[in-house]
Structure 1
Amino acid sequence: MKENQMTLEILTGEVVNYLQKLAYSDSRISQYRSAWQKVAVFMRDNDLQYYNASVGEAFIYHLIGTRGYDNLDRWEKTIIQCANVLTEFLETRTVKFRRNQKFRELLGSIGKTMLSYIDYKKSYGISRETVEEYKSNLRRLLNYLNDHGITELNSINQLFLLNYANQMGFFTPYTRHRNLSIVKGYLRYIYDQGLAEIDCSRLLPKDKYVKQPKLPSTYSQKEVKALLAAIDRSSPKGKRDYAMVLITARLGLRASDVCNLTFENILWEKNLIVLYQQKTKSGIELPLLTEIGEAIIDYLKYGRPSSNVPFIFLHVTPPYDRLNRSTLHSIVCFYLRRADIHYEKERKHGPHALRHSLAGVLLEKKTPLPVISEVLGHKNTESTRIYLRIDMNSLRQCALEVPPVSRSFYERGSGR
């Protein structure tokens, strides 16, 4: 898959325009420009005409050399962050609001083969988040290799892999499963590329992880009502939070889709919310309920900061960028605590639990499964069947009566 690329001059100009829309200060933008000048020098020295993700990564490795990220000066970490902003905007046309962004370095000859493997996976179109997951997991393997003095791929043997897998036992089963899966793919790659003499992926201990289905976490209609009532709508933040939580609770939209809502998604004349879901990439149409429409209007008129950014829900302080799903998760948790709604360790307490709760309400109302699937934006009803396990009334109807046991059965057991 061909990487997105652009001349550095045009790219930085577009990024500056975007940051200005988010109300970034002139001093902060000047800091970005100063860092990008170092990128420009690097590209000029290496006769590079276009900037892309690979150029950004090469620049960062040029900057840090053989040092680790934690050993860099503060100004160097700032330059890395500014370079990552270029790459992120080039690939997503947005810049996520963050206070710190760490660069996961993969150094040395083995680190280069890991980067090569990640580039290979990129050719299949994996997301930016998945790329970071691969870097994080391979970094864990690289650290373990360094701690045991292994600097050559052919020094990896079965005993080493067994010990590596054993020390992963301290992590959660899923974390261990993901790490070993990524490591196995990497080991297979270096063998296929002729970088290793033995296919060590066959020596890695088998992972017996089985994903256990869990009951969806739900909240009663009374609890959802108390959650909404706990939001103080007198402030701009409260107006924003109320509208976002209300959309999640009434329509069951995923947190990422709520945060990505734009003005184009609201069809006021038709009373519809129309969008393409970030997770499934499929379209969905949902009714613009009166209470939701009124909450959005209240926020737009009296709470939303002045900004040309197309997203509806923004941060209350500069930079006025869209919120991300983790922020919405924190919002829901905050008001659950304020409403004095207790949640057990097993019960989830984020926006997705409100989505589950909506499904539970629809089941109580005997809504057909295909209709629930359409409301939740599932591609097929198989994804919706999991909610059948929380429909206790219907499950009780399926229960079979236990036949009476004759007295002679107990008498046989006592030896009579």
Structure 2
Amino acid sequence: MNSKPIDELIQSCLQSLNETSYNREVTMAHKRRFTLLKSFMVIHSKDLYLGEQILSFLKVFKEKERIADKTFFKHSRNLSYFAVRMYHDQIDLHNLNGIAIKEFTSSLKNSKLYVCVSLRHFLNYLYERKLTDIDLRIPLNQIKRKSSIEKLPSVYSLEEIRQMDNAINRSKTIGKRNYAIFLLASRLGLRASDICSLQFGNLDWNRNTIRFEQYKTGQDIELPLLPVVGEAIIDYICYGRPKSQIKTIFLSGIAPFGPVSAANIFAIINEIISKSKVETNSRHHGSHSLRHSLASQLLEQGTPLAVISDSLGHSSSESTMFYLGIDVKGLLACSLEVPLVQEKFYTQKEGGFYE
């Protein structure tokens, strides 16, 4: 068996761990698990044809869904649990069935829900490619997240956003970078994955626009380069960005000055919100909360949903409907007055209510 794919996968996962600031103990623990899985595959390559299919699935899934490295690692980790259990139970594609799936999921504890998400994707992959005769996802249908009250998006007012602006020390090089990043998230609603991959070629200074392919949807989007955003980017490039041939705009603040990751963007914005002393209460305080806040502000200004959908780069307007719940003023304007109950209602049938 050629072990190169599993070596590349392990290296990719470990690199993702380092980039997302996992501590050394966690990284080493997962490295030991991956090494164990690799040894199983090398020694029992014929029996672990299932393991080969997992590797093929992960490669296709990453390219198709354009998932972040951290999410890819989680799916890899979850499916490694499944592969090891199937090895111990001497189960391969030829005898994989619903009973084996149920026995595996019943052995899971706190991680059951998350492992089953990855497993559903993989079992669907097998069924679509006719590697299994039946859809083995069926035993997983009963494993669902406990129903809970749907929460509204976390949003911050315009005044709170201004307070966050003032919390950034723009006299320092790191502050210049962080300010430009914050404006891209709060004024244009860019996702962290798009901010970290933004390149010089995406900026059209003549037309004052930003154009790029969204990492999440794979669709192109063009947004106006607001003066305050453009000036912040220029300030960072001229007086804060380390000298580098790297095409991405935003770099780390310490050597070797590589591109920042989506996790770095989240940490930067989280720190800005924390330093601003804005009361977060139960609200989220990452880059996505700024995206929600922008949508809320546009709704309050009466911006049509179709325009908001285009501005946020949603693949469909259905995604934008999620924000209707935070437009309290708009909802109140649509509400109807409750008619008064006439006095005769209370006196009918000698004051008794109908059963």
**TM-score, length of structure 2 as denominator length:** 0.78
Give the 3-state SS of the residue equivalent to 1:322 in structure 2.
coil
Change (3 A) 1:217 1:306: same
- The residue aligned with 1:384 is 320
Matching residue within 86, 104, 117 for 1:178: 117
1:204 counterpart SS class: helix
Match of 2:298 among 339, 362, 372: 362
Q: 2:79·2:115 contact (CA, 8 Å) conserved in 1?
A: no
Relative to structure 1, the CA distance from residue 383 to residue 250 in structure 2 (aligned partners, 3 Å threshold; closer, same or farther) is same
CA 1:172–1:350 in structure 2 vs 1: closer, same or farther (change >3 Å)? farther
CA distance in 2, matches of 1:83, 1:142: 17
Does residue 209 (structure 1) correspond to residue 144 (structure 2)? The answer is yes
Deviates more, 1:229-238 or 1:394-403: 394-403
> Percent identity among equivalent residues?
32
Could you list the per-position Cα deviations for residues 355-408 of structure 1 after superposition, in whole angstroms to 9, with x for gaps in the alignment? 111111111111122221221122332222221221111111222333444434
Q: 1:277 to 1:157 in 2, by over 3 A?
A: closer
Task: Indicate the residue corresponding to 1:67 in structure 2.
Answer: none
Q: Which amino acid aligns with 2:111?
A: F
Are residues 1:141 and 2:77 paired? no
The one-letter amino acid of 2:285's match is H
Task: Provide the residue aligned with 1:412 in structure 2.
Answer: 352
1:170 shift after superposition: 2.5
Query: Within 1, Cα distance between the matches of 2:144 and 2:20?
Result: 35
Structure 2 counterparts to residues 1-20 of structure 1, below 5 A: none
Instruction: Report how far residue 187 of structure 1 moved.
Output: 6.6
SS of structure 1 residue aligned to 2:83: helix
For residue 170 of structure 1, give the secondary structure of its aligned residue in structure 2.
coil
Superposed counterparts of 1:343-358, under 5 Å: 343-345=280-282, 347-358=283-294
Could you tell me how far 1:220 is from its partner in structure 2?
Answer: 0.6
Is 1:261 matched up with 2:198? Answer: yes
Distance change in 2, residues 1:141/1:361 (3 Å): same
Q: State the partner residue of 2:90.
A: 151
User: Corresponding residue for 2:229?
Assistant: 292
Deviation at 1:115?
Answer: 2.0
* Contact 2:50 2:83 survives alignment (8 Å): no
Secondary structure of the corresponding residue to residue 201 of structure 1: coil
Compared with structure 1, are the counterparts of its residues 298 and 216 closer, same or farther at alpha carbon in structure 2 (3 Å cutoff)? same
Mapped partners of 2:165, 2:228: distance in 1: 12
Give 2:168's aligned residue.
Answer: 231
| Greater alpha carbon shift after TM alignment, 176-185 vs 295-304 | 176-185
Indicate conservation of the 8 Å contact 1:97/1:321, yes or no.
no
1-side partners of 2:273 and 2:305: how far apart? Answer: 29
Structure 1 contact 118–134 (Cα < 8 Å) conserved: no
Q: Which moved more, 1:389-398 or 1:273-282?
A: 273-282
Query: Are 1:56 and 2:32 matched, yes or no?
Result: no
2:190 counterpart SS class: coil
**Structure 1 unmatched ranges of 5 or more:** 1-45, 47-53, 62-79, 89-94
**Change over 3 Å in CA distance of 1:331–1:223 after alignment to 2:** same
SS in 2 for 1:225: helix
Which of 246, 251, 263 does residue 314 from structure 1 map onto?
A: 251
Q: Work out the CA distance in 1 between the residues paired with 2:210 and 2:138.
A: 52
Change beyond 3 A, Cα 1:131–1:322: closer
Amino acid at match of 2:136: S
CA shift at 1:320, angstroms? Answer: 1.1
Q: Is the 8 A contact 1:180 1:207 kept in 2?
A: no
Structure 1 pair 172/283, CA: closer, same or farther in 2 (3 Å)? same
Q: Which moved more, 1:366-375 or 1:113-122?
A: 113-122
Answer whether contact 2:116 2:140 (CA < 8 A) is retained.
no
Tell whether the 8 Å contact from 1:218 to 1:354 is kept in structure 2 after alignment.
Answer: yes
Deviations 1:103-159 (A, max 9, x none): 53533445442223432564574357476444222212134446xx41233776655
CA 1:369–1:384 in structure 2 vs 1: closer, same or farther (change >3 Å)?
same
What residue is the counterpart of 1:399 in the other structure? 335
Q: Mark the runs of 5 or more structure 2 residues left unpaired by the alignment.
A: none
Amino acid at match of 1:161: I
Q: Aligned partner of 1:57: which letter? A: P
Which residue of structure 1 lines up, in the alignment, with residue 266 of structure 2?
329
SS at match of 1:140: helix
CA RMSD, 1 decimal: 3.7
Aligned length: 329
360-369 or 118-127: which moved more? Answer: 118-127
Matches of 1:236 and 1:202, distance apart in 2: 51
Structure 1 residue 371 and structure 2 residue 319: aligned? no
Q: CA, structure 1 residues 202+291, in 2 after alignment: closer, same or farther (shift >3 Å)? A: closer
